[in-house]
Structure 1
Amino acid sequence: MVLLNLTIENVTKQFGDKLAVNDVSFELTAGVYGFLGANGAGKTTLMRMLVTLINPTSGRILFDGKDVEVLGDEYRDNLGYLPQDIGLYKNFSAEKYLMYISAIKGIEQQAAKKKIDELLEVVNLSEHKKRKVGKFSGGMKQRLGIAQALLNDPKVLVVDEPTAGLDPKERIRFRNLLSSISKERIVLLSTHIVSDIEFIAKEIIVFKAGQLIQKDKPEELLENIRGFIWTVNVSEHEVIGFQNKYKVSNIISNQNKVALRIISESKPDDRAIEASPNLEDLYLYYFDQEVAQ
């Protein structure tokens, strides 16, 4: 087991009057971490600091106990990054694109060829290595993006909203891939799609308005909202009243009744029955202005 440690220590990032990240501290070791938050929560800003694209206004980031700003290229050599919008050259083949990125990363040509063949196999693109990237599906492009992020065999892999726009089958394949490569890496997966992290994250980091709200194992986070989730059968004319008063996560019509799933710290109705929480409930508990997917 490889010992890895990435420490975020009192990190703040300010853009003019906007406080994008506010005094955030946490620690990561090998495994997959789900970074959960609504759009605009500051997730991307923090991730850009983790991969040294921008520097903190204050605080510091430590890799195995050493400041990443001091480590410089020594830290960046251990980084892999898949941004939200990856720039792919549509007229390049997958193989040519990876060779190009390898050259930028300073990987020797023969070593690069061997690594590219290995990674194309890992991301299930070997059959398509001569195909132009412009003809790839969204899922294939994301898998190629992961391959480029892994070219230098990074110890820290940061992926930002990687499954947005992918169909369910591609999303499952993608998150299984992340899980399979996480044993000896720190993998930080940022998303607002709760199903992407439900089964693979060893811990979930809940981020809201630039601040760390919670960081714990999924089951522990769910335990924190136990007793806040309810189901209640109501008549159709009652639905709008419940929606106006409570967070309603699900509505199912059944003959003359409507089943509502409600998030509330107190029992919303005498007819309500307590239900077991799930990650969608957790998301809505913290981010009531967003709809979980």
Structure 2
Amino acid sequence: MKLKIENVSKVFKDKRAVDGVNIELTNGVYGFLGANGSGKTTLMRMLATVLRPTSGSISFNGEDIWKMDDRYRNILGYLPQHIGYYKHFSVEKFLSYIASLKGLNKNKANERVEELLQTVNIIDKRKVKMGKLSGGMKQRVGIAQALLNNPKILIVDEPTAGLDPKERIRFRNLLGEISKDRIVLLSTHIVSDIEFIAKEILIMKDGKLIEKDTPQNLMERIQKKVWSVQAEETDIPYYQGSYKVGNISRGTEGIQLRIISEEKPSVRAVNVSVNLEDLYLYYFDEEVGA
């Protein structure tokens, strides 16, 4: 399978939300990283045929997805950032209703609903009205509806919002399991959601795709730019004003600052191993408050 994005742009009035993106995607999990306004949600909405590109093309196995029409949507699963629910429907009824919209026959729909209630761990909520669910529970239902038609392409935008750490791990493992014969696109601000399952990470900034590589390769590029510095309390304002400070920890051995810097920030600074949070800070430091 191949999903190909060629020179795709999307313009809203005077704002270029997506700017000339070119990507080829095959089976596996791809993690989108980007600050608010980076264009990742707009791009995902175009891949889900919610929005049409202003220019450029998107094709699946060589065929334009807009010309494929329902044939494309039949192989697509989509969980947007915000999904509408019928608050008076029970969880089970809502999923059955969505299954019918996706063209599943009654027997197949019942089978998939039962399976997915188990998968997302809400079988005990099957008779509960959607309007009575917590945000995290609604998110689990959203994940289930995206998987109803056993899609070849799964697009999930901020899917773990509202889930506790245990459920995030559960969902992350699920994506890893199903990605061997699917294209999975995952957008998140929680970098641990993609650190261990993403085949490649796509970094978007100001509407442009600025990096696309494996997590390991991306982190290796900044390996010599992440430092640990032992500091005094009075030193902290200086470091915060002069460098990207990712973490301040106070322990028995004093204060340790985690700093992203091209240059060694102090004679006492030592290089430390890199994680995806460092990578995010390296590209999007303006999103991190002091």
Mark yes or no: TM-score above 0.5.
yes
Q: Does 1:5 align with 2:2?
A: yes
Distance 1:225 1:233 in 2: 20
1:277 Cα deviation from its structure 2 partner: 1.0
Q: Deviations over 1:193-247 (max 9, x none)?
A: 1111111111111111101111111101001111000111111111100100000
Q: Deviations over 1:36-94 (max 9, x none)?
A: 11111111100000001111111101101111111111111111100111112222111
Q: Which residue is 1:164 aligned to? A: 161
Q: Does 1:283 align with 2:280?
A: yes
Q: Which residue is 1:106 aligned to? A: 103
Q: Which residue is 1:140 aligned to? A: 137
Q: Is the 8 A contact 2:90 2:130 kept in 1?
A: yes
1:134 Cα deviation from its structure 2 partner: 2.7
Q: Does 1:253 align with 2:250?
A: yes
Q: Is the 8 A contact 1:9 1:24 kept in 2?
A: yes
Distance 1:78 1:188 in 2: 14
Distance 1:94 1:105 in 2: 17
Q: Which residue is 2:25 aligned to? A: 28
1:255 Cα deviation from its structure 2 partner: 5.0
**Amino acid of the residue matched to residue 41 of structure 2?**
T
Distance 1:31 1:136 in 2: 32
Counterpart of 2:77 (choices 74, 77, 80) is 80
Q: Residues 232 and 152 of structure 1: is their aligned pair in 2 closer, same or farther, counting only changes over 3 Å?
A: same
**Amino acid of the residue matched to residue 15 of structure 1?**
F
SS at match of 2:19: strand
Q: Is the 8 A contact 2:154 2:183 kept in 1?
A: yes
Q: Deviations over 1:239-282 (max 9, x none)?
A: 10010000000111235832111000111111111111110000
Q: Does 1:173 align with 2:160?
A: no
Counterpart of 1:206 (choices 193, 203, 208) is 203
Q: Does 1:265 align with 2:262?
A: yes
1:124 Cα deviation from its structure 2 partner: 2.3
Q: Which residue is 1:190 aligned to? A: 187
Distance 2:235 2:176 in 1: 44
Q: Which residue is 1:51 aligned to? A: 48
1:7 Cα deviation from its structure 2 partner: 0.8
1:289 Cα deviation from its structure 2 partner: 1.3
SS at match of 1:180: helix
Q: Is the 8 A contact 1:123 1:177 kept in 2?
A: no
Q: Does 1:60 align with 2:57?
A: yes
Q: Is the 8 A contact 1:6 1:64 kept in 2?
A: yes
SS at match of 1:193: coil
Distance 2:251 2:123 in 1: 48
Identity score, percent: 62
Distance 1:54 1:60 in 2: 12
Higher mean alpha-carbon deviation, 43-52 vs 109-118, is at 109-118
Distance 1:287 1:113 in 2: 45
Q: CA RMSD in A?
A: 1.5
Distance 1:254 1:159 in 2: 39
Whose helix proportion is higher, 1 or 2?
2
Normalised by the length of structure 2, the TM-score is: 0.95
Distance 2:140 2:196 in 1: 19
Q: Which residue is 1:126 aligned to? A: 123
1:133 Cα deviation from its structure 2 partner: 2.3
List alignment gaps of at least 5 residues for structure 2.
none
Q: Number of residue pairs matched? A: 289
